[in-house]
């Protein structure tokens, strides 16, 4: 996001990037370093422009070609989506011997349509009209390709591997990739879901030290459901 702002609004003031996840969690406290930073005049005056830049980033993402498209024509070109898809399809062919792109494209689209909502691989399989093992295999490939972050539910001090997962695109551009390739109206999740997605990815980058294991499993960021069935979007840290 910081690089995006520097590209589209180079004169816009940005807050410090040195805050820890704990600093962000304590931001509501009167003397928190985050609150102290945000009330500085230069940032207070830039708040509206920063919000606008954040909302724009949720639509454009940070891929250099997409940003260039926006700067020159205020819209992402179809050729940019096709170029990204060609790279992904080439990798699937080269490294995993996937020659028919029909199934991965269907799964990619269903993952995007379920962004930030708890979902099972069985539901994705039904919607894409494929078997569950195919969904698991392609989720593994897509996370290896750094297209999606999979967040598992935390239950009883461990990952609830069989519970519904939450899917977040690593870059907002990915959410609209499949619909663009299929020549349908570009799908863009609503701003609330994209804000949750971008926060989840940011927390993952700030806290995760391990690589993904099969099926997109990572332990740095999880979600939680209380006894009253209320959802906590993210838990991070070892003291959760």
Residue range 191-210, pLDDT digits in tens: 999 999 999 998 888 877 66
Query: Which structure tokens are listed for 67?
Result: 């940003």
Cβ–Cβ under 8 Å, residues 175 and 117: no
- pLDDT, one tens digit per residue, over 117-162 is 999 999 999 999 999 999 999 999 999 888 999 999 999 889 998 9
**Cα distance between residue 240 and residue 234, in whole Å:** 10
Residue 5: closest CA among 69, 73, 54: 54
| Predicted pLDDT at 19 | 81
Residue 200: closest CA among 161, 157, 167: 167
Q: Spell out, as residue ranges, where the chain has pLDDT lower than 70.
A: 21, 209-215, 238-240
| Predicted pLDDT at 68 | 97
> Can you give the C-alpha Rg of the chain in angstroms?
19
| Predicted pLDDT at 46 | 87
Q: Cite the DSSP H helix spans in 61-188.
A: 64-73, 78-96, 102-113, 121-128, 132-144, 172-175, 177-181
Q: Cite the DSSP H helix spans in 9-46.
A: 21-25, 33-38, 41-44
Cβ–Cβ under 8 Å, residues 82 and 71: no
**Cα distance between residue 139 and residue 146, in whole Å:** 10
Query: Which structure tokens are listed for 53?
Result: 């830049």
SS3 147: coil
| Predicted pLDDT at 47 | 87
**Cα distance between residue 89 and residue 197, in whole Å:** 24
User: Residue 234: what are its φ and ψ, rounded to 5°?
Assistant: -140, 135
**Cα distance between residue 208 and residue 199, in whole Å:** 14
**Cα distance between residue 27 and residue 186, in whole Å:** 35
């Amino acid at each position: 996001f910081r690089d995006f702002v520097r590209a589209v609004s180079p004169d816009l003031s940005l807050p410090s990037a040195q805050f820890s996840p704990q600093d962000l969690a304590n931001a509501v406290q009167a003397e928190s370093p985050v609150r102290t930073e945000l009330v500085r005049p230069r940032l207070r005056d830039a708040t509206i422009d920063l919000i606008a830049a954040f909302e724009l980033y949720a639509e454009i993402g940070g891929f250099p070609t997409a940003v260039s498209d926006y700067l020159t024509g205020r819209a992402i070109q179809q050729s940019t989506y096709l170029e990204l898809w060609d790279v992904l399809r080439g990798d699937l062919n080269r490294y995993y011997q996937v020659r028919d792109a029909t199934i991965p494209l269907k799964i990619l689209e269903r993952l995007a349509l379920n962004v930030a909502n708890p979902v099972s691989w069985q539901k994705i399989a039904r919607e894409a009209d494929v078997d569950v093992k195919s969904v698991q295999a392609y989720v593994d490939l897509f996370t290896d390709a750094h297209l999606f972050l999979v967040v598992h539910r935390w239950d009883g001090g461990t990952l609830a591997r069989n519970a519904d997962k939450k899917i977040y695109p690593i870059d907002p551009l990915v959410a609209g990739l499949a619909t663009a390739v299929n020549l349908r109206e570009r799908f863009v999740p609503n701003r609330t879901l994209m804000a949750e997605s971008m926060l989840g990815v940011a927390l993952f980058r700030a806290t995760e030290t391990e690589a993904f294991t099969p099926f997109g499993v990572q332990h740095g960021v999880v979600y939680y459901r209380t006894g009253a069935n209320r959802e906590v979007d993210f838990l991070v840290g070892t003291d959760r």
